[in-house]
Structure 1
Amino acid sequence: MTVAPGSVFTRLARLTEHPRATVLVRCAGALRTEDVTAAQLLDGCRRTADALRAAGVRRGDKAVVMTRDAYRLVASVYALVSLGAVPVLIEPRAEVRRCLDEIAPDVFIGDPLAHVARRALGWGRGRVRTTLVTGRAFPGRARLLGLLGWGESLPSAVPDGGGPAPDVPEPRPDDLAMIAFTSGSTGQPKGVEYRHATLAGQLATLDAVLRAEPGDVLLSCFLPFAALGPLLGVTTVAPQVDHLAPARTPPGHLVGPLLGHRATLVLGSPAVLALIAGHCVRHGLTLPSVRRVLSFGAPLRPRLVEMLAKVLPPGAEILSVYGATECLPVAAIDADALRVEPPPGHAGTCLGRPLPGVRARVLDADGTGLGEIAVAGPVVSPAYHARPDATDAAKSFADGALWHRTGDLGRLDDDGRLWYLGRTAHLVTGAGFTLTTEDVEAAADTAPGVRRTALVGVGPAGRQRAVLCVEPERGARQEAVVDALRAALGGHPHARSIGTVLFRPRFPTDIRHNSKIDRARLAAYAEGGRR
């Protein structure tokens, strides 16, 4: 058969070239790990595909996959793709029922806890026809699952690798390959469609960001990325992250596997990277094997860069990667370049230049060049699933390309670099002033005693009161923090528009990365609500 260059199927075929090479490491706690070779992973994918086929899963079926185990996630996703079915990735959160009602899945695959939630909360009720359970086998498991009405059990143990790889037919580039839901941090989660061409484009662009070399080991602190790691040709270590609250993961669960497997590449959100760096600083540890750290999910702040630099070897690179579920990745910038002073009128945080093959422009720009960032290129998803209204609002064709409106405010400077100013939905407008969140927060976050800040508007647009919410460092005195904020914002042209400084011990954040601040809840808090 003919396989498109760089497709998922080309990359799966490459795994057969080195059958004994470790491609995935599943972790349990700080020290317990299990290596999975290419042969074992492919054998497990075939066995899982056989079990799915026997359960009635067919080409085109939409299958929710909700498991916390890296091997079972990868085996299930690869097996579904090999059958021509469509994996659906969604976080176990309060809006799951609405999301599943929207996409109408045919299949639900999950560990026992996911099935408890499915039955108790009515996830996919009346729509899911096939249910399958992942998890460890035990005597009487099949009978128990039958009594509970949870469906068949998928193979749970990693096989010996003696069986053949799955038979994977080549799809058309425009065939639907996967649906991944947005985090919902700035609105209701939406199901993003990835075509096979989209996945191929994203994998090629991720190659350019990772720049993996033979022998590299990637510590992936975001579980869904573990499904991409083997396809990128790098041994992928999947630590046991608390997926409902990543920032509450015991740091040893991250640092232990990192040191034990001598990871050379580390990928995680700022909240998780702060756990790693903070643990190492407190315990006098260093990370001598790491040569590149990739931060994503929220802006990378100088204070975290400084903390990481203390534990990384000289010459190690720290990258801030920008993108969204609908277009990932878009741009990347080295931490050293983050210190560059913005050109006049270009405040905010620099995102760097778009990656190879990716184009960016600013739409509906005002007189200062501020507008909404739009992206085109092979990484851009074509549509939201079952949401034509959202697709029409975010997607448009121009100059022979499909452009995605990101919902992010930004500018392009004369050197072609993108500058991030915050979300369009978070613009604060009052009597005689307009404030972007990143413009203010990038400066305020440098104040001593401040862990992070969030600018919110209270009241109707155009008549809002600007409130700067502050999450202080532990033990910091409020009076000293307020003085430090005055100094940090003293030269800011719009600092006088901030009417109130409000302290809160811990900000509400998104469930996916624990790094994006839930500003709607903070604004309600600032108005007097305590939600």
Structure 2
Amino acid sequence: MTVPGIAARLAGRPDAVALVECRKGASRTTRRGELVGRCHRLARALREAGVRPGHKAVVMTRDAHDLTAVSYALGLLGAVPVLIEPRAEVGRCLQDVAPDVFVGEPLAHLGRRALGWGRPHVRIPLVTGSAPLPGVRRLVTRTPDADGPLPRTREPDGDGPALIAFTSGSTGRPKGAEYRHTTLAGQLDALTTLMDPRPDDVLLAGFLPVALLGPLLGVTTLAPAVNHLAPARSSPEELVGPVLEHGASILLASPAVLTLIARHCARHRITLPSVRQVLSFGAPLRVRLAEALREAVPDDAEILSVYGATECLPVSSIDDHDLRATRDRPPAGHAGTCLGRPLPGLRARILDTDATGLGEIAVSGPTVSPAYHARPDADAVTKSDTDHGVLHRTGDLGRLDDEGRLWFLGRKAHLITGPGFGLTTEDIEAAADTAPGIRRTALVGVGTAVCQLPVLCVEPLPATSRGAALAAVRAALKDHPEGHRVGALLIRPRFPTDPRHNSKIDRMRLAGWAARHLRGRGR
């Protein structure tokens, strides 16, 4: 079975803009024809450096153009790009993947040398950019005239390896999700269903790897100057500016980045008339943020909360109107946050359910990664074969309602257990987050398993006083059937979060802080 490859997906419309990398005070525009030419020249340079089909090649750069072109060039050669979160446990990731090639910016190579990343596996180190690095060969392409005719490429085998993408490690040790060519094709098909891309669409990619997918979807892709080591600390001007300058029609980003955009627009009374769609991913979209975004975009714009994971993205989506309706009027027995219905071709099941139908969300379908690279232990726990393909256990707790919609209740590992009860994080937090003056809350357990004290940590908005924040949360939980089980409320001005999106709360660190805080005040 063959599927359309990179060359086929980039063919046509050579004068259309493929990628715009936005930097402070400047931007770099690449047209589709130029991107195709550079990919082929990079493929030649990689081949001359010794890269061969089947080689695993780590690509580590914050330059969206280099990340995209190098990854595509590796794909043209039949090599396998490997994407790793820069702030993850890179050394352990490289032990798992044992890469033959390491392509990266100078800073990445300095880290590789200083920390021993990839030793002794990396045989072909290549540095991107114009700055030379002693002892590392620059990835240099010759001029088009000197290269002769471009080589022919054939469509890839759908079952062949296409990419290895590591999880962020926010909920445990990072793992490399293997994507076959059919997996990537399934993800592109699912995103096409979600976005319904048009030839004149302009996509703002609030997460660097999205720059890889935009050109393959046929849309102009903007890569703004996001702080990839701390997205929530990005300059909002560098996010909103490109939207206005280039007329972005689709915004795809995490809640942390979307919050920056919404706040900046509100503060400066800016509207974004070109936006027809907002896709939020990486953590649940709260109604309050959706309402703030509504003030900045046209009335007919679509705002979607998209559910998925590195191992299966996307899975389902729900628009802000339905999100608000299910929050205000949830069906009987369905607390937490509604994730919407699975996308066409995807199946969701709830495994190991209790008497209320609560269990672990599992997904099968064309967007699901079939395995983790070199991690049979993880495969044994999360993967199983079914008539509908590989079934992946997500580690998320949830339910399915009578209309086939998924409901999210939090991570299975974050379930709070005490004498005679179990509390899911999303059940409590979805209610507490509606309190006025509150940015977000996080439920953590203090103590040993089965005997935990439920502690709700509260992150107020800057203008909210400590007393007002606590009073508002208490009022929001007063009528919640499980609200009385919360044993302590603690104010924390800023929650620790995952490095990739700055949206998922690092509950292990937060629980440790809560335990120390309670001990300090004698609990």
Report the TM-score, using the length of structure 2 for normalisation: 0.96
**Sequence identity (%):** 63
Give the drift of 1:449.
Answer: 1.6
Q: How far apart are the structure 2 equivalents of 1:222 and 1:522?
A: 25
Say yes or no: does 1:502 pair with 2:502.
Answer: no
Is residue 483 from structure 1 mapped to residue 471 from structure 2 by the alignment? Answer: yes
The equivalent of 2:17 in structure 1 is 22
In the TM superposition, residue 213 of structure 1 has moved relative to its aligned partner by: 1.4
- The change in CA–CA distance for 1:17 and 1:430 in structure 2 (over 3 A counts) is same
**Is the 8 Å Cα contact of residues 225 and 239 (structure 2) preserved in structure 1?**
yes
Q: CA deviation at 1:8?
A: 2.9
Cα distance change on mapping 1:487 and 1:390 into 2, 3 Å: same
Q: 2:336 aligns with which of 328, 339, 348?
A: 348
**Contact persistence 2:16–2:31 (CA under 8 A):** yes
Shift of 1:500: 0.6
Report the CA distance between 1:165 and its aligned residue. 5.5
Q: Which residue of 1 aligns with 2:26?
A: 32
Indicate whether 1:464 and 2:461 are aligned.
Answer: no
2:184 is the counterpart of 1:196 = no
Write the distance in 2 (CA, Å) between the matches of 1:348 and 1:287: 31
Which residue of structure 1 aligns with residue 362 of structure 2?
Answer: 374
Are 2:9 and 1:8 aligned? no
Partner of residue 447, structure 1:
435
Deviation at 1:475, TM superposition (A): 2.7
The alpha-carbon deviation at position 398 of structure 1 amounts to 2.7
Query: Does the 8 Å contact 1:134/1:156 carry over to 2?
Result: no
Task: Determine helix, strand or coil for the equivalent of 1:193.
Answer: strand
The aligned counterpart of 2:376 is 388
Is 2:502 the counterpart of 1:514?
A: yes
Tell me the distance in 2 between the aligned counterparts of 1:243 and 1:445: 27
Post-superposition offset of 1:17 = 1.5
CA deviation after TM superposition for structure 1 residue 529, in Å? 7.2
Q: Indicate how the Cα distance of structure 1 residues 344 and 202 shifts in structure 2: closer, same or farther if over 3 A, else same.
A: same
4+ residue runs of structure 1 moved beyond 6 angstroms?
159-163
Alignment correspondent of 1:233: 218
Distance, in Å, in 1 between the alignment partners of 2:474 and 2:509 is 25
- Note the C-alpha offset of 1:156: 10
Deviation, structure 1 residue 125: 1.7
1:205 aligns with 2:190: yes
Question: CA–CA distance in 2 between the matches of 1:322 and 1:160?
Answer: 46
2:99 aligns with 105
Cα distance in 2, alignment partners of residues 422 and 344 from structure 1: 19
**Pairwise CA distance, 1:166:** 5.5
1:162 Cα shift? Answer: 10
Do structure 1's residue 91 and structure 2's residue 85 form an aligned pair? Answer: yes
In structure 1, runs of 5+ residues without a counterpart are none
Q: Is the 8 A contact 1:40 1:160 kept in 2?
A: no
* CA deviations over 1:150-171 (Å, ceiling 9, x no partner): 22333499x8999865632222
- For the 8 Å contact 1:42–1:161, the answer to whether it is kept is no
Residue equivalent to 1:135:
129
Residue by residue over 1:227-268, the C-alpha shift from the partner in whole angstroms, topping out at 9 and shown as x without a partner, is 110100111111111110001011111111111100000100
Stretches of structure 2 that go unaligned for 5 or more consecutive residues are 519-523
| Aligned residues of 1:263 and 1:289 also touching (Cα < 8 A) | yes
Matches within 5 A, 1:124-523: 124-136=118-130, 141=132, 145=133, 148-155=134-141, 167-339=152-324, 340=326, 341-523=329-511
CA distance in 1, matches of 2:146, 2:426: 50
Q: Is the 8 A contact 1:44 1:161 kept in 2?
A: no
Shift of 1:481: 1.1
CA deviations over 1:333-386 (Å, ceiling 9, x no partner): 111000122211110100000001000010001000000000010111110000
> Given that residues 2 and 157 in structure 2 are in contact (C-alpha distance below 8 angstroms), is that contact kept between their aligned partners in structure 1?
no
- Opposite residue 501 of structure 1, the aligned amino acid is L
TM-score (norm 1): 0.94
Supply the RMSD in Å over aligned alpha carbons: 1.8
Show the 5 A alignment for 1:42-53. Answer: 42-53=36-47
Letter in 2 for 1:27: C
> Match of 2:239, SS?
helix
Residues 135/486 of structure 1: CA separation in 2 closer, same or farther (3 Å cut): same
Measured after TM superposition, the shift of residue 13 of structure 1 is 2.1
Amino acid at match of 1:394: T
Does the aligned pair in 1 maintain the 2:102–2:122 contact within 8 Å? Answer: yes
| Counterpart residue type for residue 73 of structure 1 | L
Q: Output the CA distance in 1 between the equivalents of 2:375 and 2:444.
A: 29
Equivalent position of 1:60 in the other structure = 54
Letter in 1 for 2:10: L
- Verify the 8 A CA contact 1:262 1:289 in the aligned structure 2: yes
Aligned residue for 2:275, secondary structure, equals coil
Distance apart, 1:94 and its partner CA: 4.8
Whether the 8 Å contact between 1:89 and 1:180 is mirrored in structure 2 is yes
Q: Residue 35 of structure 2 aligns to which amino acid in structure 1?
A: L
Distance 2:421 2:277 in 1: 41
Give 3-state SS (helix, strand or coil) of 1:299's partner. Answer: coil
- Aligned AA (1:513): H
Q: For residue 205 of structure 2, what is the amino acid of its counterpart? A: S
Relative to structure 1, the CA distance from residue 163 to residue 16 in structure 2 (aligned partners, 3 Å threshold; closer, same or farther) is farther
Change (3 A) 1:319 1:162: farther
Give the length in aligned residue pairs: 515
Q: Point out the more displaced range, 478-487 or 263-272.
A: 478-487
In 2, Cα distance between equivalents of 1:162 and 1:117? 33
Distance in 2 separating the partners of 1:450 and 1:36: 42
Alpha-carbon shift at residue 505 of structure 1 (Å): 1.1
Check the 8 A contact 1:42/1:166 in 2, yes or no: no
CA contact (8 A) 1:135 1:156 kept: no
- The whole-number CA distance in structure 1 between the counterparts of 2:258 and 2:289 is 8
SS at match of 1:491: coil
- Select the residue among 75, 83, 90 that pairs with 1:81: 75
